[in-house]
Amino acid sequence: MPTELLIVNEPAFRCPKDMVYGPCGGVEFDGTCEVAPHRCVFLDEPTVAWHGVEADERPGHSDPVPPTPVSAGATAMRELMATGPVVVADFPARALDAASIAECAGLLRGSVDAVLAGDAGAARVQFPPAYRASLIRAAGLEVWTGFNCRDRNRVAMEGELAALAHVGVAGVHCVTGDHTFTGQRPDAKPVFDLDSTEAASLARANGHLVSVAEAPATPPVDRRPDRLLEKMRAGAEVCFVNHAGGVRPVAEFIARAQDLGADLKYIPCIPIVVDRESAGLLRTFTTLVLPPGYLDRILDARDPFEEGIAAAVELAQGFLAIEGVAGVNLSGGTGPGREAWFAEALARIGREITAG
């Protein structure tokens, strides 16, 4: 066997997330893994074609499982996207704080079509997705639930997806998830029983409108559209396009993906910067690429808050003019204690985008 194959098959050079359909969005700009000192093991291999969820073939048994109902929220969101673009905002509420969740939901209600409420990339403890979604929906706001593979095995994922369908979430956003070594809980063992592509298939089978993320500026840049196509084949209907440098790079990525047959609905992410705290949070995003001069324009302005809102609305208008774009995601957050203030900023941006 060639030496290089022996090296790749050594445990130290396997994907730390045990991904089948890699690479994830955490590849550094120089091609190294986000948590290991070696080059991402997927960069020099062909894009893995969708061939299903790998399963343990050992015999077993379980009680019959009733079919999961199609999420009512998924049906409503599909109908809404068929009528025009949607605005989805990241949800800034404090973790494990029901009062903060209710407050932020109330501030955003009526200004955006849904909130993207996910598990924290930093691996902090939060309410389980279905419970958090039920709190948000109880406040009158639709939920697009973020769902990672870091924190739960496939049995727990199946239970959570069934609960989310009963709650009636608008969508389920499937990500592999940041490794625990990169966050606030390195003491927590990462699970990674499935990856984002496999989770997309599982979520679709459980009655959900499924979205995935793709990072056009992250290595391997030339194969990101191919990977998205395989996610579509697994069950994804929507792609949230990570920060890639502005309108032109996003348009080019979408066009390349569409040429391959990736006929999804695309929702580009808009970086929301209205103060230095929100700018600092954005800088923690893996392989972040912002439009040239974007941060300087806002932070050097006499009124960064107003300039940040104007910049976000302007970028949204550019994204919405791209063929295939079905909406925008207001992406970002701010420091502790400013969650409600940031929710008000998101609400204003949402209203101005809709009015425009």
Q: How far is CA 246 from the centre of its chain?
A: 18
Confidence of residue 186 (pLDDT cuts 50, 70, 90): confident
From 194, 185, 190, 186, select the one nearest 212 (Cα to Cα).
194
- The predicted pLDDT at position 37 comes to 86
**What percent of the chain is modeled with pLDDT above 90?**
78
Counting other chains too, the contacts that 52-57 makes at CB distance below 8 Å and 24 or more residues apart are: 52/201, 53/154, 53/194, 53/198, 53/201, 53/202, 54/20, 54/198
- Is residue 61 pLDDT above 60, yes or no? no
| Rg of the Cα atoms in the chain | 20
Do 338 and 98 meet the contact criterion of CB atoms below 8 Å apart?
no
Q: How far is CA 163 from the centre of its chain?
A: 20
Q: What is the largest CA-CA distance in the chain?
A: 67
- If you count DSSP H runs as helices and E runs as strands, how many of each does the chain have, helices first? 12, 8
Do 331 and 243 meet the contact criterion of CB atoms below 8 Å apart?
yes
**Within 10 A of 207 (CB to CB), how many other CB atoms are there?**
21
The predicted-structure confidence for 291-343, as pLDDT tens digits, reads as follows 999 999 999 999 999 999 999 999 999 999 999 999 999 999 888 899 999 99
Cβ neighbours of residue 239 closer than 8 Å, sequence gap 6 or more: 211, 212, 213, 214, 228, 231, 257, 262, 264, 265, 266, 267
From 28, 50, 4, 39, select the one nearest 227 (Cα to Cα).
50
Do 138 and 167 meet the contact criterion of CB atoms below 8 Å apart?
no
- The predicted pLDDT at position 62 comes to 53
The predicted-structure confidence for 100-155, as pLDDT tens digits, reads as follows 999 999 999 999 999 999 876 665 788 999 999 999 999 999 999 999 999 999 99
Domain ranges of the chain: 69-355
Predicted model pTM: 0.92
Do 180 and 207 meet the contact criterion of CB atoms below 8 Å apart?
no
- Is residue 59 pLDDT above 70, yes or no? no
- The predicted pLDDT at position 8 comes to 35
Do 186 and 156 meet the contact criterion of CB atoms below 8 Å apart?
no
Pull the structure tokens for residue 183. Answer: 């966050």
Distance (Å, whole) CA 19 – CA 291: 31
DSSP structure class, residue 121? T
Please, where are the H alpha helices in the chain? 3-9, 72-83, 98-108, 129-138, 154-167, 196-205, 224-234, 247-260, 276-282, 294-299, 304-320, 339-355
- Is residue 23 pLDDT above 60, yes or no? yes
CATH class held by domain 69-355: alpha beta
More confident residue, 71 or 237: 237
Q: What is the DSSP string of 290-334?
A: --TTHHHHHHTSSSHHHHHHHHHHHHHHHHHTSTTB-EEEEE---
Distance (Å, whole) CA 81 – CA 142: 14
Do 213 and 240 meet the contact criterion of CB atoms below 8 Å apart?
yes
The answer to whether the peptide bond before residue 219 is cis (omega within 30 degrees of 0) is no
